[in-house]
Amino acid sequence: MKYIGNTDEYFEIINLDNSNTEAIDNPIEGQLSVIWFLEDNNELIIDSQTYTFKKNQLICLTGFHKVKINHLAKANVLRFNSPFYCIINHDSEVGCKGILFLGSKGLPLLSPSEDDLKSLDSLTKMVFLEMQSKDGLQQEMLQMLLKRFLILCTRIYKANEKLDILPKVESDLVREFNFLVEEHFKTKHSVTEYASMLNKSPKTLSNLFGKLHDKSPLRLIQDRIMLEARRLLRYTEKPISEIGYEIGFQDIQSFSRFFKKNEGASPSDYRSVLPI
C-alpha cells in the first residue's frame, strides 16, 4: 500500500514474502526503509555480506545499501523518503539520525522485547488502516504513525546497544559522531578532525566509546571507508585509482596499503574473486 503526495512525498508499507521480493528492488534515491521479519529463515546479501535474520528482528536500510534477497519467508517493509519525513530536520522529535539511519556503525539490527513487539504490531495495523483513508488528513496521520514507529525503533536500538545507559548528552554525542563520519568519511580520516567538529578532544571520544565497550572512533571511521571501498569495487567498474581518490586517498599506493591492511587482500585481488 502506497501514499504519494502532491510534492513528491512517498510512504509505503508492504507485506513481503519470497514471491514478491522485487517490490524492494531498485530503491528510490533518498529512501529509508525498515524491514521487520515476521518469520525465521531469511537470508539477504547486503553490501556483499550474507546475513541471516530471525523472526521479529528488524533492520534499517538507506538507498545506499546494496541488497539482494536469497530467501525471505515473511516480512513487513515500511519505507519513505525525505519529502515525506526528513529525519534530519525532525531529529529533535525522533532522535534516530546517526543510529538507525545515516550512521557509520554498519547495519542497524534491532531485537525487540515482547512489549515492543505488541507496540510495533499495533502501529503497523494502524498504518494499514490509515492507508485506506483518503481524506485531507491522511498525510498528517501517516507522518504521526511513522514518527511513533521510529521513536520506538530508536528506543529498541538504544537498549540493544546499551546507549540508554549514557546520559542524553553523551548519547547524542555518539549519534552526532556517527552522523558526521557518514557525512565526511571520504574527506576526513582522523579522529582529530571529527573531535574538532564536535568541539571535543580525541581522548573524550575514545573514552566515550570505551564506556560502551564499542569499537574505537578510529575503527569506526576506517570501517566506514572500507564499506564504501568494497561497494565501489563490487558494484562499479571504476578504476581502482579512481575509487581510492574518491574516498580520500591521494594515490593508489596509499589506498592499496590501507585496503590490504583491513581486508587481507589488495583491491585488485578482492575485485578479481567477486562473483560475476
Can you give the pLDDT at residue 49? 87
Encode the chain (276 residues) as per-residue pLDDT tens digits: 888 888 888 999 999 888 888 877 766 667 899 999 999 999 998 888 899 999 999 999 998 888 889 999 999 999 999 999 999 999 999 999 999 998 877 889 999 999 999 999 999 999 999 988 877 788 899 999 999 999 999 999 999 988 888 899 999 999 999 999 999 999 999 999 999 999 999 999 999 998 887 789 999 999 999 999 999 999 899 999 999 999 999 999 999 999 999 999 999 999 887 655
Q: At which residue does the C-alpha cell 534516530 appear?
A: 96
Q: Which domains does the chain have, with CATH numbers?
A: 2-161 (2.60.120.280), 168-272 (1.10.10.60)
Q: How many CB atoms lie within 10 A of CB 254?
A: 12
Any residues with CB less than 8 A from the CB of 5 and at least 6 apart, and which? 83, 84, 139
Q: Which contiguous run of DSSP H or E holds residue 84?
A: none
Can you give the pLDDT at residue 165? 87
Contact 55, 120 (CB under 8 A): no
CA 111 – CA 210 distance, rounded (Å) = 23
Half-sphere exposure of 180 (CA within 13 A, CB side): 19
CA 266 – CA 255 distance, rounded (Å) = 9
CA 103 – CA 175 distance, rounded (Å) = 7
Can you give the pLDDT at residue 275? 59
